[in-house]
Amino acid sequence: MTTTTNEYSVALSFEDGVTRFINVPPGQTVADASYRARINIPLDCRDGACGTCKAFCESGEYDGGDYIEDALTDEEAEAGYCLPCQMTPESDLVLRISGTAEMAKSGIGQFAATLEKLHWYADNTAALTISVEDRGKLRYLPGQYMNLKVPGTEEERSYSFSSGPDADELTFLVRTAPNGVMTTYLKERAREGDSLILEGPMGSFFLREVKRPVLMLAGGTGIAPQLAMLEKIVSSGAAPDFPIHLAYGVTFDKDLVEVEALERYVEAIPGFTFDTIVAYPDSAHPKKGYVTQHLAPKHLNDGDVDVYLCGPPAMVDAVRRYWGSEGITPANFYYERFAVGVPHAPALQPGQDAA
């Protein structure tokens, strides 16, 4: 979301998946801005001497400041490591911070919201459109998720945003589960205008700077975070320098959703292409089987590719095996596994394999 003129937005991504955003005026260090925001990132000397604050910059430009080799080696700096006590942003940044948000005494954000619209694609997939009271305070990275308290219960479930971070209203895709608490709410009790509570944002599965070709792989409602990423690319206004391909697999034809949105992204994003694949053998869909059966060498680019996968655990494992069988090690493999109908936290395991 927007920041005060001249301030940079810095996302602090903690090891427990919590992300907090701070605004940093030009010339101010990330550590000072964090302190003002009452977020206690790891610090000791504050002088570029000890290395305690060492973080990893996922995207953005900055001046690294003054420090000694003991705190940060040239190789580390070259690889993207940085010292928040010394660094001053020169653009919006995403920083991976060592330690948890809890250690930083930074709680997770909670937001009052309203269910504006409930749309069923089929009997098993719903789209929720949600407005948040204080929308300006809910900032997130494309690909992240929120925990949604299920009205009338003590339970919560987690859903990735399918809307881009700049959207006024938030959207989420929900895949139903037999006797699931969210499914029961949506099918039996939900009314437009219902009050909701959202917590987050969470997750380390988010779009990084596009520095090489991108391959997106989505299974089922795993398409949601990919939609948010594509929306962010559109709203940034800059055409990516590299091609982006999405392979979107589902079990049955009726599970395919938001295909029209993907077609719009083909128009809006130069170099974006996508395939839809249906696993069910009796489907009349032109592409059947698994997503890996429909990847071409140009999509793999001899491994010089950043891969973003969101899908069920079996899909993550199958894609990992596929890299092995093809002898490919992607430059970066970011993934998020989800299970339907279970609390998100233990079920969802974001991860990253980097070459």
Binding site for ligand FES (CB under 6 A): 43-46, 48-53, 71, 83, 85
Spell out the residues 6+ positions from residue 162 whose beta carbon is closer than 8 angstroms to its own. Answer: 127, 171, 172, 173, 223, 224, 225, 227, 228, 258
CB of 208 vs ligand FES, minimal distance in Å: 24
Residue nearer to ligand FES on the CB measure, 69 or 326:
69
Taking the C-alpha atoms of residue 92 and residue 106, their distance in angstroms, rounded to an integer, is 21
Q: Which parts of 181-317 are beta strand (E)?
A: 195-202, 214-219, 244-250, 272-278, 306-311
CB of 71 vs ligand FES, minimal distance in Å: 4
Kindly report whether the peptide bond that precedes residue 42 is cis, defined as omega within 30 degrees of 0: no
Q: Which two tokens stand for residue 81?
A: 């490591």
Q: Which two tokens stand for residue 284?
A: 């009349």
Under 8 Å between Cβ of 128 and 158: no
Residue 326 has φ and ψ, to the nearest 5°, of: -90, -10
Pairing of strands 214-219, 306-311: parallel
Q: Which of 112, 132, 129, 116 is nearest to 192 (CA)?
A: 116
CB of 69 vs ligand FES, minimal distance in Å: 12
CB of 100 vs ligand FES, minimal distance in Å: 18
User: Using the 8-state DSSP alphabet, how is residue 186 labeled?
Assistant: I
CB of 92 vs ligand FES, minimal distance in Å: 21
CB of 95 vs ligand FES, minimal distance in Å: 13
In order of 178, 222, 331, the CA distances from 258 in angstroms are 23, 12, 29
Residue nearer to ligand FES on the CB measure, 46 or 264:
46
CB of 52 vs ligand FES, minimal distance in Å: 4
Residue nearer to ligand FES on the CB measure, 83 or 246:
83
Residue nearer to ligand FES on the CB measure, 65 or 240:
65
Spell out the residues 6+ positions from residue 74 whose beta carbon is closer than 8 angstroms to its own. Answer: none
Residue nearer to ligand FES on the CB measure, 32 or 199:
32
Residue nearer to ligand FES on the CB measure, 65 or 151:
65
User: Using the 8-state DSSP alphabet, how is residue 75 labeled?
Assistant: H
Q: Classify the phi-psi angles of 80: left when phi > 0, otherwise alpha if psi is within -120 to 50, otherwise beta.
A: left
Classify residue 195 as exposed, middle or buried by CB count within 10 Å of its CB (0-12, 13-18, 19+): exposed
CB of 36 vs ligand FES, minimal distance in Å: 16
Residue nearer to ligand FES on the CB measure, 46 or 254:
46
CB of 74 vs ligand FES, minimal distance in Å: 15
Residue nearer to ligand FES on the CB measure, 53 or 104:
53
Residue nearer to ligand FES on the CB measure, 33 or 328:
33
